[in-house]
Amino acid sequence: MDRFEYIEARLFDGENYLKRDKNVKIYDGDDKTQFIDGEVLLTTHRLLWGKPGDIPKGLVCLSLHLYYVFCLEEESGGVFGLGGPKRIIMHLGPALPGKRPGPAVVSPFHYVKLSFKDGVDTAFYKALSDAVAAKAWERQTPIDTPRTATSPTTASRPTVTAVNSKIRSGIVGIERSIEEQHRATDQSISVAFQDLTKLMEKAKEMVSLSKNISTKIREKQGDISEDDTVRFKSYLMSLGIDDPVTRDAFRSDSEYYLGLAQQVSDMMVAVLLECGGIMSLADVWCRVNRARGLELVSPEDLLNACKLLRTVDAPMSLRKFPSGACVLQLNSNRDEEIAKSTSDMIQENGYLTPEKLSQIANVSVLLARERLFTTERLGLACRDESIEGLAFYPNRFLLEA
Amino acid sequence: MAEISWPWQYNFPPFFTIQPHTETRSKQLEAWEQLITDYLKATKQSTIDIREASNTPLFNNIEINRKLSQEAILTILEDMAKAGKAAPIDKSKNVWEVYWHSLDEWGNMIYNWACNNGFNNSVCTLFELREGDNTADQEFHNLDMNVLVKALKSLEAKGRCELMEFDDNQGVKFF
């Protein structure tokens, strides 16, 4: 799919119209795409795809240069291959540099499929394979191709195509085409990663540079005004680099997280009051997303936002229990008070299991368990572990001593 | 077997789980140690085999269906060992000697008895100490032989007595 480009539907000099068909769907490899029920137009140089009526009007449509195509195949659609071929598979060479932007930047596949609702028109297929074999683009240089004589791939590939199209029918032919596909994959991967490695090299430099500056800022704390430090930090954050001065775990878009934190705090106050001042983060996430309806928040974003609750002066904060469970807790909700009320409940009931407490106090079992552990940590309960499970009793060891 | 007056803890299920809270645990261990000592004193025993102990009434309360695990028993005995009230007999710490009194206390008790009854500078057999009529009202009457020897050895180390061997009998001379 990454070989397609967006371009206005006009013919180049020397390019001729060959054939058209309608009700055509494009597949990226085996995956469906958004390009369905369109028209295709075959020229000597390219294959154009557009929404019905777009191509005659000369509007922007998808274009695939035929020099990418090195091999064609028909695929039958019906069960057991009945009902004639429905799709044309076009095996493509690697994307060339200098290509115009298209619908996809990268694609894991090296072939696309054209699916024809009404079956493949044999005339269309023949015209396509003829156009690929004819290589009209080699005879004259169309104005708008990125291909030049200097490109090394240009020189080598047409010969391969020729071999492929000639002996595609034998086992050797199949083997060759597989080999060619491997080579194409390899090439496109290295092309794709070329830019990435450069970026990574630069990123390393950028990070070390920013660290350098930040240590300098810290050394000369007195000389540089608070304003400068803040401004520098905001530059780094907007680059997506961790704030190296404070070493907080937050990344750029901190403004977004701050906004989200504010929203969470506004939204959850009432809810938390209702359910006893404490709620597991998973439940919070559900509540927040249910309230938002659309534009859902990812768990990670919520976690980051919750870490910022303190900075927005929210009446609640994120808390991590020793067991690893994360909860949102009202600041007014102190451990001592929780322990006190829990131990009262234990006294009333004789003993409590997490399940029982969760029913009585209307909280989740996880939270009930944490409450009991908290109570135990403060010496107001003692545990009884047996085959019947975990239960908590009033701490008579300390009470009756 | 003598009737044992079980403490309230014995019927309190959490008693059979070693508590993680430090303060609570120290109270719990204290209660266990007291109970173990009382129980062994009442039943005239001085060794505990951890592998079998789980099934004795001491560690297994059938009424409330709670049993102290072997690890827990080991924890308690190790805690007792710190205070000199117990010592492992084998290397794998399966069999333990429990002293109702520490060995020093036993030694002193015997020495006091000997002084009070005019046995200074004379020789008694260990059999006499354990089963003689003179000691019938003493706490160390019928004391386990191994424990008795260890107590006397600790006394010997202080120079208060000397252990000696007869043909097939052991004796002790108090100074």
What stretches of chain B adopt beta strand conformation (E)? 47-49, 60-61, 66-67, 86-88, 95-98, 123-125, 161-165, 170-174
CB contact under 8 A, A383 and B14: yes
Q: Which of B14, B65, B66 sits opposite A382 (nearest CB)?
A: B14
- Per-residue model confidence (pLDDT) at position A233: 66
pLDDT tops 50 at residue A253: yes
State residue B145's pLDDT score.
76
Inspect the interface and report whether the beta carbons of B20 and A351 lie closer than 8 Å.
Answer: no
Checking if the pLDDT of A88 tops 50, the result is: yes
Q: What is the structure's pLDDT at B55?
A: 80
List all residues 6 or more positions away from A255 whose beta carbon is below 8 Å from its beta carbon: none
Asked if the model's pLDDT at residue A227 lies above 70, the reply is no
How high is the pLDDT of residue A157? 45
Compute the nearest-CA separation of A336 from chain B (Å): 16
CA distance A376 to chain B (A): 7
* Alpha carbon distance B66, B69 (integer Å): 9
A386 contacts on B by Cβ (under 8 Å): 13, 16-17, 65-66
pLDDT one-digit tens code per residue, A295-352: 788 888 888 888 888 888 888 888 888 888 888 888 877 778 888 888 888 888 888 8
pLDDT tens-place values along chain B, 175 residues long: 446 778 888 888 888 888 888 888 888 888 888 888 888 878 777 788 888 887 888 888 888 888 888 888 888 888 888 877 788 888 778 888 887 777 777 788 888 887 787 777 777 777 777 777 777 777 777 777 777 788 888 888 877 788 777 767 777 877 7
Most confident option among A190-194, A255-259, A372-376, B98-102: A372-376
Say whether A386 and B65 touch across the interface (CB within 8 A). yes
Measured between alpha carbons, how far is A238 from A252 in angstroms, rounded to an integer?
Answer: 5
Provide the shortest C-alpha distance from residue A378 to chain B (in Å). Answer: 8
| pLDDT at residue number A34 | 86
Whether chain A has a CB inside 8 Å of the CB on B34: the answer is no
User: How much of chain A exceeds pLDDT 70, in percent?
Assistant: 77
- Show which of residues 86-105 on chain B sit within 8 Å of chain A, judged by CB atoms: none
DSSP E strands, B46-169:
47-49, 60-61, 66-67, 86-88, 95-98, 123-125, 161-165
State chain A's mean pLDDT as an integer.
77
Which residue on chain A is closest to B32 by alpha carbon? A397
Count the Cβ atoms, other than its own, within 10 Å of residue B170.
Answer: 16
Is residue B58 within 8 A of residue B35, CB to CB? The reply is yes
Task: Report the pLDDT averaged over residues A370-380.
Answer: 87
**Range picked from A68-72, A205-209, A213-217 for highest mean pLDDT:** A68-72
Contact A384 B14 (CB under 8 A): yes
User: pLDDT band at A21, cuts 50/70/90?
Assistant: confident
Q: Which two tokens stand for residue A395?
A: 């701490």
Q: Helices A254-274 and A281-292: crossing angle, nearest 10°? A: 100
- Given a contact cutoff of 8 angstroms between Cβ atoms, the answer to whether A47 and A40 are in contact is yes
pLDDT of residue A222: 59
Q: Touching check for A138 and chain B: CB below 8 Å?
A: no
pLDDT at A161: 45
Whether pLDDT at A151 is above 50: no
Which alpha helices (H) appear in B117-144, and where do they start and end?
126-131
pLDDT at A392 over 80: yes
Whether A70 and A164 have beta carbons less than 8 Å apart is answered as yes
User: Is A203 a residue whose pLDDT tops 70?
Assistant: no
Angle, vertex CA A125, rays to CA A34 and CA A149, nearest 5: 85
pLDDT band at A153; cut points 50, 70, 90: very low
Show residues of chain A in contact with B66, CB under 8 Å: 384, 386
- Whether the per-residue pLDDT at A229 is higher than 70: the answer is no
A243 vs A367: which has the higher pLDDT: A367
A382 lies within 8 A of chain B by CB: yes
Q: Mutate which of B18, B26, B27, B63 to disrupt the A interface (most A C-beta within 10 Å)?
A: B27
A322 touches chain B (CB under 8 A): no
Q: Tell me if chain A has a CB within 8 Å of the CB of B23.
A: yes
pLDDT at A158 over 60: no
pLDDT of amino acid A311: 82
Q: Between A282 and B53, where is the model more confident? A: A282
ipTM for this prediction: 0.71
B-chain residue closest to A401, CA distance: B27
Lowest mean pLDDT segment, chosen from A170-184, A232-246, B105-119: A232-246
- Best probe of the A interface among B17, B35, B71, by most A CBs < 10 A, is B17
Please answer whether residues A45 and A68 qualify as being in contact, where contact means their C-beta atoms are separated by less than 8 angstroms: no
**CB of B77 closer than 8 Å to CB of B86:** yes
Report the distance separating Cα A383 and Cα A375, nearest Å: 10
Name the minimum distance, in Å, from the CA of B101 to any CA of chain A. Answer: 23
**A contacts of B59 (beta carbons < 8 Å):** none
The Cα A313–Cα A210 span in angstroms is 30
Average pLDDT over residues A77-86: 62
CATH topology of domain B103-174: Arc Repressor Mutant, subunit A (1.10.10)
- The mean pLDDT of A148-154, rounded to a whole number, is 44
- CB distance B126 to B156 below 8 Å: no
Flag whether residue B8 sits within 8 Å of chain A, measured between CB atoms.
yes
Q: When comparing pLDDT for B134 and A93, which is higher?
A: A93
Beta-sheet pairing, A60-65 with A5-8:
antiparallel
The reply to whether A349 touches chain B by the CB within 8 Å rule is no
Cβ–Cβ of B24/A401 closer than 8 Å?
no
Q: Closest Cα partner for A306 from A285, A278, A332?
A: A285
How far apart CA A345 and CA A74 sit, in angstroms, is 74
Domain boundaries defined on chain B: 8-98, 103-174
A35 Cβ partners below 8 Å, 6+ apart? A25, A26, A49, A62, A103
The string of pLDDT tens digits covering residues A49-79 is 888 888 888 888 888 888 888 888 887 765 5
Residue A162 confidence (pLDDT): 44
Residue linked to tokens 């240069």: A65
Q: What is the mean pLDDT of residues A370-385?
A: 88
Predicted pLDDT at A159: 44
Between CA B60 and CA B49 the distance in angstroms is 14
Handedness of CA B112, B117, B120, B122 (dihedral sign): negative
A352 neighbors A389 (Cβ within 8 angstroms): no
- Bigger pLDDT: A158 or B134? B134
- CB pair distance less than 8 Å for B14 and A393: yes
- A228 pLDDT above the threshold of 70: no
Chain-chain contact of A398 with B23 (C-beta, under 8 angstroms): yes
Which is the CATH superfamily of the domain at B8-98?
Answer: "Winged helix" DNA-binding domain. Chain C. Domain 1 (1.10.10.570)
Residues in chain B within 8 Å Cβ distance of A351? 13
Chain B nearest-CA residue for A377? B21
Cα(A373)–Cα(A11) distance, rounded to whole angstroms? 76
Q: Are A331 and A363 in contact (CB under 8 A)?
A: no
